[in-house]
């Protein structure tokens, strides 16, 4: 059970200390938005390169961008330990996942709430993680979409059949109130932005979320 706090809810003027505040987490989730794939703009490769130099934990880069086939490999080449592209934006997800792995990153594919899982199941051997979005991508602080839990369970079932070590991540509205149902459905990597950085102690929130998830682990 791994926790990946989203720095989208952190203080962008103090990202180094905001990363230090979650050094007990497994990953730092970095939301890259290009104002085209989603209606919001955050940060890109130069800032990710700077974060990689100071982060006490590995970076989990979630690319909400058009044309990831062209832009995503540079994040892996820069040293990002996990790179997630959206399948809705990818021209050739299989080649892209292989390129990310060849550059030394974990290759991860995200699907939006309206995107079905079944057409992409055959990509599992190319992937290290599947991200099932539990909000429409673009903004922090939105309400959790419980109707995505059957999709998480579907992915878990596919991973079981496939037999590999593929992680399942949920992102959006994950909090102490919603993390249990995610774990029960089969998720094992949990992104939380407002629930961590909005808490009095970010580190304590990370520990609390991890133990809630562990207590409800999918069997």
Q: Which residues are annotated as a binding site for a divalent metal cation?
A: 29, 31, 62, 171
| Of residues 179 and 185, the one with the C-beta less far from ligand DX5 | 179
We find the least distance from the C-beta atom of residue 133 to Zn ion, in angstroms, to be: 8
| Of residues 38 and 159, the one with the C-beta less far from ligand DX5 | 38
We find the least distance from the C-beta atom of residue 161 to Zn ion, in angstroms, to be: 27
- CB 97, CB 123: distance < 8 Å: yes
Residue the block writes with tokens 């580190």? 203
Could you say which of 34, 128, 171, 188 is catalytic? 171
List of residues contacting ligand DX5 (CB under 6 A)? 6, 8-9, 29, 31, 62, 135, 137-142, 171-174, 191-195
Alpha-carbon span 96 to 55, nearest angstrom: 26
We find the least distance from the C-beta atom of residue 2 to Zn ion, in angstroms, to be: 14
- CB 155, CB 117: distance < 8 Å: yes
- CB 56, CB 19: distance < 8 Å: yes
Please, which residues bridge with residue 83 across strands? 61, 107
Q: Is 34 designated active site?
A: no
Using CB atoms within 10 Å of the CB of residue 65, give its burial: 0 to 12 exposed, 13 to 18 middle, 19+ buried: buried
Joined tokens for residue 140: 């922090």
Verify binding: residue 31, Zn ion, rule CB under 5 A.
yes
44: partner contacted, choices ligand DX5, Zn ion, none (Cβ within 5-8 A by kind): none
| Residue 39 DSSP SS3 | coil
We find the least distance from the C-beta atom of residue 162 to ligand DX5, in angstroms, to be: 25
Binding residues for substrate: 6, 62, 138-141, 171-173, 193-194
Could you say which of 31, 34, 60, 128 is catalytic? 31
Verify binding: residue 171, Zn ion, rule CB under 5 A.
yes
| Of residues 44 and 164, the one with the C-beta less far from Zn ion | 44
Q: Is the dihedral of CA 122, 127, 132, 136 positive or negative?
A: negative
Residue with smallest beta-carbon separation from ligand DX5: 193
User: Taking contact as CB under 5 A, which single stretch among the options 35-43, 56-64, 68-76, 94-102 is the one that binds Zn ion?
Assistant: 56-64
Alpha-carbon span 144 to 133, nearest angstrom: 9
| Of residues 93 and 172, the one with the C-beta less far from ligand DX5 | 172
What is the DSSP code (8-state) at residue 8? G
Alpha-carbon span 49 to 47, nearest angstrom: 5
Binding site for Zn ion (CB under 5 A): 31, 62, 171
Active site residues: 31, 171
């Amino acid at each position: 059970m791994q926790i990946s706090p989203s720095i989208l809810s952190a203080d962008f003027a103090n990202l180094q200390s905001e990363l230090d505040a979650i050094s007990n987490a497994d990953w730092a989730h970095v939301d890259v938005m290009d104002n085209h794939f989603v209606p919001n703009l955050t940060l890109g490769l130069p800032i990710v390169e700077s974060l990689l130099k100071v982060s006490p934990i590995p970076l989990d880069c979630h690319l909400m961008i058009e044309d990831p086939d062209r832009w995503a490999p540079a994040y892996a080449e820069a040293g990002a330990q996990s790179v997630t592209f959206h399948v809705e934006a990818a021209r050739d997800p299989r080649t892209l996942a292989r390129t990310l792995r060849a550059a030394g990153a974990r290759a991860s594919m995200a699907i939006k709430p309206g995107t079905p899982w079944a057409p992409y199941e055959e990509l599992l051997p190319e992937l290290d993680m599947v991200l099932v979005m539990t909000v429409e991508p673009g903004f922090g602080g939105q309400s959790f979409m419980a109707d995505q839990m059957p999709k998480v369970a579907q992915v878990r079932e596919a991973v079981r059949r496939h037999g590999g070590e593929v992680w399942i991540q949920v992102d959006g509205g994950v909090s102490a109130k919603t993390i249990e149902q995610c774990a029960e459905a089969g998720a094992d990597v949990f992104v939380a932005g407002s629930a961590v950085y909005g808490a009095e102690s970010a580190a304590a929130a990370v520990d609390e979320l991890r133990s809630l998830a562990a207590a409800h682990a999918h069997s």
